[in-house]
Amino acid sequence: MAFAAQLGTLTEELVEALTQSSSQLRTAPKIFKATCDATLKSLRSQQYLRTNQFEVEHNFNGLEERFRVNHRDDLADALRERVNALQQHSSKWHPEILLLLLELSDQPTLKTRLSDLDASGQGEEEADAALRWEDIAREDGWDQDVNLWETISYSDDSADEELEELLTDESEATSISGDRLAAGRSAEEFTIHLEDRSALDSVLKAQEWRVEAPPEDSSGHTRKIAVSEAQAVREVLFMLQGLKCTLFDHRGSAVPTFQLANTAWETHRALMSTFTEFGRQLSILRRFVSQPQTVPHLQALQDCISRRLRSLDCKLSGIQSRLASPKDEVVVSLMATRGEVLPWLEPLFALSSIIAQVQEAPNLETFHYLELMFNETSMEQLTGRLGTCEFLARIFVECFNVYLRPVRHWMDEGKLLPGNELFFVSEESGNVSLSNTWQGRFKLRKTTDGRLHAPNFLQPAVSKIYNAGKNIVVLRLLGNYGTTLLRQVHDELPLDYDTICPRGFELAPFADRFGAAFDQWVQSKYRKTSTTLKNALFGEWRLSSALDDLRTLYFMSDGSATSSFSRGLFANLDAMKPGWHDRYGLMAAGHEAFASLVDTNRLSVSVDAAGKRLPVAQAQASVKTGLPSVKINYRLQWPVQMIVTDESMAHYQSVFTLLLQIKRAIHTLHKAKILQNYWTDHENWDERALFYASRNRLLWFCTTLQTYLATLVLEPIDDHMRRHLQTAEDVDAMIAVHTSAMKQMVDQACLGSRLAPIREGILDMLDLALRLDHGRTRASGVVGEGGQSYLDMLSEIKADFDRHLRFICGGLRSFARASGNAQSVKWDILADMLQTGDADER
At residue 249, the pLDDT reads: 81
Residue 79 lies in a domain: no
Domain limit, last residue, from 643, 670, 687: 643
Residue 305 confidence (pLDDT) above 90: yes
At residue 215, the pLDDT reads: 67
Residue 173 lies in a domain: no
Q: How far is CA 303 from CA 241, 285, 289, 352, 722, in A?
A: 17, 11, 8, 14, 53
CB atoms within 10 A of CB 434: 15
Domain count, the chain: 5
Residues 611 and 525 in one domain: no
Residues 533 and 598 in one domain: no
The half-sphere exposure of 613 on its side-chain side, counting CA atoms within 13 A, is 3
Residue 171 confidence (pLDDT) above 60: no
Give mean pLDDT, residues 447-454: 84
Residue 147 lies in a domain: no
Residue 798 lies in a domain: yes
Residues 651 and 576 in one domain: no
Residues 786 and 672 in one domain: yes
- Give the pLDDT confidence of 413-434 residue by residue, as tens digits: 888 888 777 888 998 887 889 9
Question: Which structural domain range is residue 240 located in?
Answer: 222-363
Residues 820 and 678 in one domain: yes
pTM: 0.69
User: What average pLDDT does the structure give for the chain?
Assistant: 83
Residue 127 confidence (pLDDT) above 60: no
Helix axes 94-104, 53-69, angle to 10 degrees: 40
Q: Give the pLDDT band of residue 188 (cuts 50, 70, 90).
A: low
Residues 254 and 351 in one domain: yes
Residue 804 confidence (pLDDT) above 70: yes
Q: Which of 43-47, 669-673, 774-778 has the lowest mean pLDDT?
A: 43-47
Give the amino acid at 179. D
Residues 739 and 801 in one domain: yes
Residues 595 and 516 in one domain: no
Percent of residues in the chain assigned helix, strand, coil, to nearest 5: 70, 5, 25
Q: How far is CA 829 from CA 706, 816, 824, in A?
A: 14, 10, 9
Q: Which residue(s) pair with 442 in the sheet? A: 427
Residue 789 lies in a domain: yes
Residues 651 and 561 in one domain: no
Residues 686, 165: Cα–Cα separation, whole Å = 172
Residues 768 and 751 in one domain: yes
| Residues sharing a CB contact under 8 Å with residue 418, sequence separation 6 or more, in sequence order | none
If 0-12 CB within 10 Å is exposed, 13-18 middle and 19+ buried, where does residue 667 land?
buried
Residues 781 and 672 in one domain: yes
Q: What are phi and psi of 395, to 5 degrees?
A: -65, -40
Residue 129 lies in a domain: no
Higher pLDDT, residue 671 or 287: 287
Helix axes 265-290, 296-324, angle to 10 degrees: 140
Residue 112 lies in a domain: no
Own/partner pairs, 260-263, CB within 8 angstroms, 24+ separation: 260/226, 260/227, 260/228, 260/229, 260/232, 260/334, 261/226, 261/227, 261/228, 261/229
Q: Which residue(s) pair with 452 in the sheet? A: 446
Residue 102 lies in a domain: no
Torsion of Cα atoms, 782 then 787 then 790 then 794, to 10°? -160
Torsion of Cα atoms, 818 then 822 then 823 then 826, to 10°? 100
CB atoms within 10 A of CB 312: 20
Residues 722 and 632 in one domain: no
Domain limit, last residue, from 330, 363, 396: 363
